[in-house]
Structure 1
Amino acid sequence: MLKVKLGLKGPTVSEICFGSLAISSLQGRVSEEQGREILQYAFSRGIDWVDTAELYENYSQLKPVLTRNPEMKVVSKSYAVTHQELDASLEKARKELGRDSIDIFLLHEQESHLTLKGHAAAWEGLLEAKARGQVGAIGISTHAVQGVRAGALQPGLDVIHPLINYQGLGIIDGSLGDMLEAIAFAAELGIGIYAMKVFGGGHLAAEPERAVNFIRSIPGIQAMALGMSSIPEVDYNLALLNEEPISDELRQAVLHRERKLYIADWCQGCGKCVGGCPQNALYLNDGQVCLQPERCVLCGYCGRYCPHFCLKII
């Protein structure tokens, strides 16, 4: 597994980060114990860091694996706004993950300089926690072009976790070209960058080689977080990045398993996806998007319209 350094100040890690949302109860693809087994297997194959968040509510799931493998690095994220909220989020992560220090801690989903300004007290808390040695690198995650640009200029920021894929699915404030320019700007300043939503929330999974190779072609990106919910997915993704032959059996296991449209419970009922579904398979009911399964053809077009990636083909 290729090792990379995240920018000038971030840690050295494997090129793939294990995205743990896919094994958390938030998505419900696997049991808690199955998720642990998949993460342990990924670590045995050379993936040496895991991405989580307070939102995922899976610290207890990850803790046994982290305890067995103290060299595994961990990223967590928080929506904290105040200094007090940040302190509480960090203490929760340290306690429930069984770590004195969190390797990378991010403010979750920052959209612009205005968002960061609104979280200024939390950022100050992060800077202080880093000075105390309770966190290693600090930064932000973002789905926004302006989030990347503002993050690059944030005093003390080490790492940015931006949304980026070859179709630009999920970027909330600009084009794919705009995001690429913002990432290049951040990279020139020495910021560590690891990509999220490489497969567009599952909508680009039919062309995984193209998806991975696109990210690898961007000079400013050092690594990527990939959500994996099975051992074959781990093997498949590692084969992709190691440019190894992929057997028909493995390809079938990953790309041709039974799939469905998953609607996350954090759906905000904006309705943008309803009008974007060419099959009229989606509708709003009491502020929640609902599905008529008999109409759904799993085209994935609806995912283009959701700013929060609530809709996924899994």
Structure 2
Amino acid sequence: MNQVKLGSWGPLVSEICFGSLAISPLQGRVTEAQGVDVLKYALERGINWIDTAEIYDNYGQIAQAVKNYPQVRIISKSYAVTEQDLRKSLEKARSELNRDVLDFFLLHEQESALTLKGHSRAWEELLRAKEKGLVRWIGISTHAVDGVRAGALQPGLDVIHPIINYQGLGIIDGTLDDMLQALSFAAEIGVGIYAMKVFGGGHLSQDPQKAIDFIKKVPGIQAMALGMSSPDEVDYNLLLVSGQEVPQALREKVKHKPRKLYIADWCEGCGRCQEACPQNALHIEKTAVVDQEACVLCGYCGRVCPHFCLKIV
């Protein structure tokens, strides 16, 4: 597994980061035990860092998988706004991941300088946690061009996790070219960058090699988070990223099926899913209705549904 340096002052990590959303309760593709097995398999194959978030609700699953892999680095994220929120999020992660020191901790889904200003107290607490040695590297995740630009200028920021793919799917405030320019700016000042939604939430999975090759050619992007929910998917992605030929038998096993957000007929139209959707892909017409083209299958809507109406299938 190719090792890359994450930014000018970050650690050496594998080119692929294991995106654990795919094995989390948010997406429900596998059981907790199956997810642990897949993650262990990926670690055995050389992937040495894992992306998660407080909202994924899978710290215990990851802790089981990394028990015998103390060198594996973990990234988590939080929507914390206040100092108290951030401290609570950090302690939850440290406790449930069984880590005295967290490798990475990010503020989740920051959209602009205004969003970061609204989270300034949480950021200041994150800086203090870094100074105390509780966290090694800090940063943000974002679906926005302005989020990348503002994040790059944020005091003490080490890493940005942006949405990026060859069609620009999921970018909420600009074009693909705008995002590429923002990423170039961040990279020039040494920020570590690892890509999210490389396959556009499944919309680009019919030509996965094109999707991977695009990311690998973007200057400044050092690595990418890829969601995997089976050993075959791990092998498949490792071959894609390394540029090796994928055997036809493996292609058939992993054939990317189109997935979509399913909304059950008992939906009451409360609107919580609409509020939680970062892509504005949901609206209410008595019940929730999804724009499948805009949806990137993040699963955040299902997390807030009080009646379990939404699921990625």
SS at match of 1:304: coil
Task: Look up the match of 2:294.
Answer: 305
What's the offset of the Cα at 1:267?
Answer: 3.1
In the alignment, which of 267, 273, 285 is matched to residue 273 of structure 2?
267
Report the equivalent of 1:199.
199
**Cα deviation per residue 1:66-120 (whole Å; 9 max; x = unaligned)?**
2221111000000000011000000000000000111110000000000000000
Q: Deviations over 1:32-66 (max 9, x none)?
A: 00000000000000000000000000011111112
Deviation at 1:7, TM superposition (A): 0.5
Report the TM-score when normalising by structure 2: 0.88
Is the contact between residue 199 and residue 208 of structure 1 (CA under 8 Å) also seen in structure 2?
A: yes
Letter in 2 for 1:150: A
1:285–1:229 Cα change, 3 Å:
farther
Give the whole-Å Cα distance in 2 for the aligned partners of 1:158 and 1:273.
31
Deviation, 1:287, is 4.6
Q: Tell me the residue number matched to 2:231.
A: 231
After superposing the two structures, state which structure 1 stretch, 76-85 or 7-16, moved more. Answer: 7-16
Q: Which amino acid aligns with 2:261?
A: Y
Q: Secondary structure at the match of 2:244?
A: coil
Whether the aligned pair in 2 keeps the contact of 1:201 and 1:313 (CA below 8 Å) is: no
Counterpart contact for 1:145–1:171, Cα < 8 Å: yes
Match of 1:250 in 2: 250
Taking a change above 3 Å as real, the CA distance of residues 260 and 217 of structure 1, as seen in their structure-2 partners, is: closer
Whether the 8 Å CA contact 2:63–2:96 is kept in 1: the answer is yes
Identity value in percent: 61
**Counterpart residue type for residue 191 of structure 1:** V
Question: What's the RMSD between the two structures over aligned residues?
Answer: 2.2
SS in 2 for 1:64: helix
SS of residue in 1 equivalent to 2:274: coil
Query: Are the equivalent residues in 1 in contact too, given 2:17–2:226 (CA < 8 A)?
Result: yes
Pairwise mapping of residues 170-181 of structure 1 onto structure 2 (< 5 A)? 170-181=170-181
**In the aligned structure 1, how far is the partner of 2:3 from the partner of 2:189?**
21
For each residue in 1:115-155, what CA deviation from the matched residue of structure 2 results, as whole angstroms up to 9, or x when unmatched?
Answer: 00000000011101011111111000000000000000000
The whole-number CA distance in structure 2 between the counterparts of 1:158 and 1:212 is: 24
Aligned-partner Cα distance in 1 for 2:184–2:280: 31
Instruction: Select between 5-14 and 91-100 the one with higher mean Cα deviation.
Output: 5-14
Q: How much has 1:261 moved relative to structure 2?
A: 1.9
Task: Give the superposition deviation at 1:303.
Answer: 3.9
121 and 273 in structure 1: CA distance in 2 versus 1, 3 angstrom threshold = closer
Q: 1:260 to 1:193 in 2, by over 3 A?
A: closer
Cα distance in 2 for residues equivalent to 1:307 and 1:244: 28
What SS does the aligned partner of 1:28 have? Answer: coil
Alignment of 1:84-233 (within 5 A): 84-233=84-233
Using the TM superposition, give the Cα deviation of residue 305 of structure 1 relative to its aligned residue in structure 2, in angstroms. Answer: 2.3
Q: 1:188 to 1:96 in 2, by over 3 A?
A: same
Contact 1:194 1:223 in 2 (8 A): yes
Q: How far apart are the structure 1 equivalents of 2:119 and 2:280?
A: 28
Q: Alignment partner of 2:4: what SS?
A: strand
Q: Quick check: 1:232–1:254 contact (8 Å CA) kept in 2? A: yes
The SS at the match of 1:267 is helix
Distance 1:110 1:181, change over 3 A: same
- Residue of structure 1 in register with 2:306 after alignment: none
Mapped contact 2:297–2:312 kept (Cα < 8 A):
no
Superposition pairs of residues 48-63 of structure 1, within 5 angstroms: 48-63=48-63
Deviation for aligned residue 1:307: 7.6
Structure 2: stretches of 5+ with no match in the other structure: 265-271, 302-310
2:238 and 2:196 mapped to 1: Cα distance?
17
Instruction: Look up the equivalent residue of 2:134 and give its one-letter code.
Output: Q
